């Protein structure tokens, strides 16, 4: 790592960005239970405390001259300090820059799988693909179908958002024909039965449409010919949810119905 004296001689903005990166490295080491150089960390804190242009909460650093003894508290303080620095620099982090909680290795054979399937109809965002897979894994979906126009779960942003779920939940690229003969077919779309009134099937497939256009007319016709549509009643003025958030609400309700029926 760069010596504190050399760090102090860098241009101010470069120095603060470098310190933010160093703090992120400390966070990674603490999360992995690796030993860290507390003296170097203390030197960083002292360096920040001499910068009168920084807000007080940044200059106070990790809580004063004595660093927290507990690794968990030190990790949280490093995280708070890093984000305070980034906010001061006007560098708000993107979702994929965040250090997501470690969840350990996922067991492909572990957990409960329920007879719920989902068809993603032209979902365009890799982040949404990953978030949908994460919710699918969390609530026991047995298979995810992706239309050919959807990004692959192997996309870096999808993998990041899925937190390993892309390696656990069975998924495949499939044309709409995969839904042929599915009696338990329905769509998550506006204009349907309210979520709390919808009769979920004991086994079936829900169609989730694109962020921009929703479910395609062809697949809506197929859903309407089977079980129809389900909608989530909303109270706010926006009257819409992110597609991954909407799916999470729905799959929780469906999984609750199925587990109570077991």
Tens digit of pLDDT for each residue in 86-99? 888 888 766 656 66
Residue 174 has pLDDT above 60, yes or no: yes
Whether 103 has a pLDDT exceeding 70, the answer reads: no
The pLDDT score that the predictor gives to residue 244 is: 96
Mean pLDDT score of the chain: 89
Give 110 or 117, the one with higher predicted confidence: 117
User: Tokens 């042929």 appear where?
Assistant: 180
Beta strand spans in 177-260 (E): 185-194, 204-208, 229-231
Can you give the pTM of this predicted structure? 0.74
Q: How confident is the model at residue 104 (pLDDT cuts 50, 70, 90)?
A: low
Ordered by where they begin, the domains of the chain are 4-93 (no CATH), 114-261 (3.40.1280.10)
Is residue 248 pLDDT above 90, yes or no?
yes
What separation in angstroms does the CA of 259 have from each of 9, 72, 180, 254?
Answer: 62, 36, 26, 9
User: Contact, 47 vs 19, CB < 8 A?
Assistant: yes
- Sheet of 141-146, strands arranged across: 171-173, 141-146, 114-120, 204-208, 185-194, 229-231
Average pLDDT of span 124-152:
95
Cβ(144)–Cβ(162) under 8 Å?
A: no
DSSP-assigned letter for residue 73: H
Q: What is the reported pLDDT for 105?
A: 55
CA distance 117 to 170: 10
Collect contacts of 91-96 with beta carbons under 8 A, ≥24 apart: 91/17, 91/20, 95/127, 95/161, 96/127, 96/157, 96/160, 96/161
pLDDT band, residue 63 (cuts 50/70/90): low
Mean pLDDT of 170-195: 95
Number of helices followed by number of strands (H, E) in the chain:
9, 6
Q: Quote helix, strand, coil % in the chain, to nearest 5.
A: 45, 15, 40
Contact assessment for residue 142 and residue 163, using Cβ atoms and an 8 Å cutoff: no
What integer pLDDT is reported at residue 163 of this predicted model? 87
């Amino acid at each position: 790592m760069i010596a504190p004296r050399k760090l102090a001689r860098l241009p101010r903005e470069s120095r603060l960005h470098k310190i933010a990166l160093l703090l992120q490295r400390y966070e990674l080491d603490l999360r992995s239970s690796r030993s860290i150089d507390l003296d170097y960390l203390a030197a960083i804190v002292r360096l920040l405390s001499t910068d009168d242009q920084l807000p007080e909460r940044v200059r106070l650093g990790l809580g004063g001259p004595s660093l927290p003894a507990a690794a968990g508290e030190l990790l949280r303080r490093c995280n708070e300090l890093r984000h305070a620095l980034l906010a001061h620099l006007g560098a708000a982090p993107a979702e994929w820059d965040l250090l997501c909680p470690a969840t350990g290795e996922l067991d492909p054979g572990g957990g409960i799988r329920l007879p719920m399937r989902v068809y993603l109809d032209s979902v365009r965002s890799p982040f949404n693909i990953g978030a949908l897979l994460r919710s699918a894994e969390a609530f026991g979906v047995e298979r995810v179908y992706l239309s050919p126009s959807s990004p692959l779960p192997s996309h870096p942003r999808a993998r990041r958002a899925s937190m390993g779920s892309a390696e656990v939940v069975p998924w495949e690229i499939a044309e709409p024909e995969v839904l042929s003969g599915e009696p338990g077919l329905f769509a998550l779309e506006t204009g349907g039965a309210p979520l709390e009134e919808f009769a979920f099937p004991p086994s079936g497939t829900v169609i989730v449409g694109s962020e921009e256009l929703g479910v395609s007319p062809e697949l809506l016709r197929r859903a309407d010919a089977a079980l129809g549509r389900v909608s989530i009643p909303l109270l706010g003025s926006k009257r819409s949810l992110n597609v991954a958030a909407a799916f999470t609400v729905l799959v929780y309700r469906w999984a609750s119905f199925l587990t109570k029926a077991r």
